Amino acid sequence: MKQALTDLQARDLQHVWHPCSQMKDYEQFPPIVIKSGEGVWLYDENGNRYLDAVSSWWVNLFGHANKRISQALSEQAFTLEHVIFANFTHEPAVKVAEKLVALTPPGLNKVFFADNGSASIEVALKMSFQYHMQTGKTQKKRFLALTDAYHGETLGALSVGGVDLYNEVYQPLLLDTVRAQGPDCFRCPFQDKPDSCQAQCIHYIEKELEAHHEGITAIIIEPLIQAAAGMKMYPALYLKKLRELCTSYDVHLIADEVAVGFGRTGTLFACEQAGISPDFMCLSKGLTGGYLPLSVVLTTDEIYDAFYDEYGTMKAFLHSHSYTGNTLACRVALEVLTMFEEEDYIELVQQKGDVMRKLAIEAFSHLPYVGEYRQIGLVGAIELVADLLSKEPLPGEERIGYQIYQRALAKGLLIRPLGNILYFMPPYVISEEEMRFMIETTRQTIETFFAEREEKVCSSDQQHSLL
């Protein structure tokens, strides 16, 4: 049954094409019109509120309408909103670059600005390729990426992604990428346990490097969490071994920390947990605390030096965006980085992560359709399965995660699913009381949904037996 639309909903559906959506779904489930936000809460035009358990696609760190960040943005808007970033610069960009170099792993001394996560991936791919062309390694023309990887939705980023939902239709347009089996700790082919895992699955990458390293320019990876794949988590040892392989085979390592950077995993950057420095680090999302689009690529002096020459050599990196180094976005990023310096948000994330893990295990461990609850830092994921022993996935065509998402919204909770994986990635300002609401509401919604689903199955079976 179609819902009666408000004026704004009707006007939205007349002209707006929403991302990651089958727009026909909106006939039955129209977009919710959000009027305001505060802390972890979003408020719609009817006065209903929703706990934003996914940080509005993983970008919000310090809560909606954060007074400190809003004040910094307002002050900058009355001073300078934007300036061309070729042959010009400004203080917010310089300070952001200085702080990022100081905070990221050693050796990442150069900062290139872009405007979103996908764009940062494109920059890193192009830089790596051009570096090898300009240092005489002209055979290096391919990238190695993992199965189930997600790196964005521009064509280059899709080429190194491995989620068919996003890639399949564009396959004829994509780069010829070498693909290696990625880590899958929930369904580990080696039957390893997380506390004793020796990252044997790195063998899959090593095998591909042995065969193709002469033609590979870089390996790209999401450190510790393959997010869009369903929050698939793996140990830091895997990253450490990967860094060693990249060095051994003269292949760049691109760390896509767009989703996991800025404290999400319990350290400021996920690579820290492995004690490694990549050749490129891509950052976005939390960089501006959820306020404005901005991304950066950090790289080494060695890579930078391969582009530094007289103009006539044509070795410059000729890549740009109109809003490169946008002043407003940089000023907001500067405030976010300053907040990390002035307050121990990393310890806060670790403490709240411990609370969330305890509450989640108590809530979900006994549920018959929860195959696993996994967590790193303040990122938690519930994997729903058809059978606990076999770990058989639930049928995708039922869109069970989507149905649970809809029901949770009716209870005031935003937990947008990844297929049949539900996840939590809340802003760091979430209180224990709000966390309890988030987890308890999720538990109740899962239990109610599956109870009703069982009733429907039983009713259907009875009807068939009478025929």
* Per-residue pLDDT tens listing for the chain (467 residues): 567 899 999 999 999 999 999 999 999 999 999 999 999 999 999 999 999 999 999 999 999 999 999 999 999 999 999 999 999 999 999 999 999 999 999 999 999 999 999 999 999 999 999 999 999 999 999 999 999 999 999 999 999 999 999 999 999 999 999 999 999 999 999 998 877 899 999 999 999 999 999 999 999 999 999 999 999 999 999 999 999 999 999 999 999 999 999 999 999 999 999 999 999 999 999 999 999 999 999 999 999 999 999 999 999 999 999 999 999 999 999 999 999 999 999 999 999 999 999 999 999 999 999 999 999 999 999 999 999 999 999 999 999 999 999 999 999 999 999 999 999 999 999 999 999 999 999 999 999 999 999 988 776 666 665 55
> Based on the domain organization, do 139 and 88 belong to the same domain?
yes
Q: What angle do CA 86, 89, 94 make, to 5 degrees?
A: 130
For residue 164, give its domain range. Answer: 70-342
**385: amino acid identity, one letter:** V
Task: Give the pLDDT of residue 226.
Answer: 98
How do strand 110-114 and strand 41-44 relate by DSSP bridges? unpaired
**287: amino acid identity, one letter:** L
User: 293, 321, 342 — which closes off a domain?
Assistant: 342
> Based on the domain organization, do 40 and 137 belong to the same domain?
no
Residue 420: beta bridge partners? none
Residue 81, in any domain of the structure = yes
Q: Residues 230-240, buried b or exposed e (16+ Cβ, 10 A)? A: bbbbbbbebbb
User: Is residue 435 within a helix (H) or strand (E), and if so which, with residue range?
Assistant: helix 432-466
Q: How far is CA 38 from the centre of its chain?
A: 23
Task: Give the pLDDT of residue 287.
Answer: 98
How do strand 421-424 and strand 413-414 relate by DSSP bridges? unpaired
> Based on the domain organization, do 241 and 141 belong to the same domain?
yes
Residue 3, in any domain of the structure = no
Residue 27, in any domain of the structure = no
Helix 345-364 to helix 432-466 angle, to the nearest 10 degrees? 30
Residue 426, in any domain of the structure = yes
Residue 176, in any domain of the structure = yes
> Based on the domain organization, do 357 and 385 belong to the same domain?
yes
Task: Give the pLDDT of residue 461.
Answer: 61
Residue 17, in any domain of the structure = no
Q: Using CA atoms, how far apart are residues 149 and 225, in angstroms rounded to an integer?
A: 10
> Based on the domain organization, do 247 and 358 belong to the same domain?
no
Task: Give the pLDDT of residue 229.
Answer: 95
> Based on the domain organization, do 315 and 252 belong to the same domain?
yes
Burial environment of residue 15 by CB neighbours within 10 A (0 to 12, 13 to 18, 19 or more): exposed
> Based on the domain organization, do 349 and 326 belong to the same domain?
no
**127: amino acid identity, one letter:** M
How do strand 295-299 and strand 110-114 relate by DSSP bridges? antiparallel
> Based on the domain organization, do 365 and 284 belong to the same domain?
no
> Based on the domain organization, do 145 and 280 belong to the same domain?
yes
> Based on the domain organization, do 295 and 360 belong to the same domain?
no
**Total domain count for the chain?**
2
Q: Are 159 and 141 in contact (CB under 8 A)?
A: no
User: 286, 308, 342 — which closes off a domain?
Assistant: 342
Query: What's this model's pTM, rounded to 2 decimal places?
Result: 0.96
Instruction: For residue 152, give the CATH number of its domain.
Output: 3.40.640.10
Burial environment of residue 462 by CB neighbours within 10 A (0 to 12, 13 to 18, 19 or more): exposed
> Based on the domain organization, do 195 and 304 belong to the same domain?
yes
How do strand 225-226 and strand 232-233 relate by DSSP bridges? antiparallel
> Based on the domain organization, do 439 and 305 belong to the same domain?
no
Residue 20, in any domain of the structure = no
Q: Using CA atoms, how far apart are residues 380 and 377, in angstroms rounded to an integer?
A: 8
**294: amino acid identity, one letter:** L
Q: Using CA atoms, how far apart are residues 333 and 115, in angstroms rounded to an integer?
A: 12
Task: Give the pLDDT of residue 455.
Answer: 85
Closest-CA residue to 97 (of 84, 87, 108, 88)? 108
Closest-CA residue to 415 (of 449, 382, 447)? 382
Coil, helix or strand at residue 180: strand
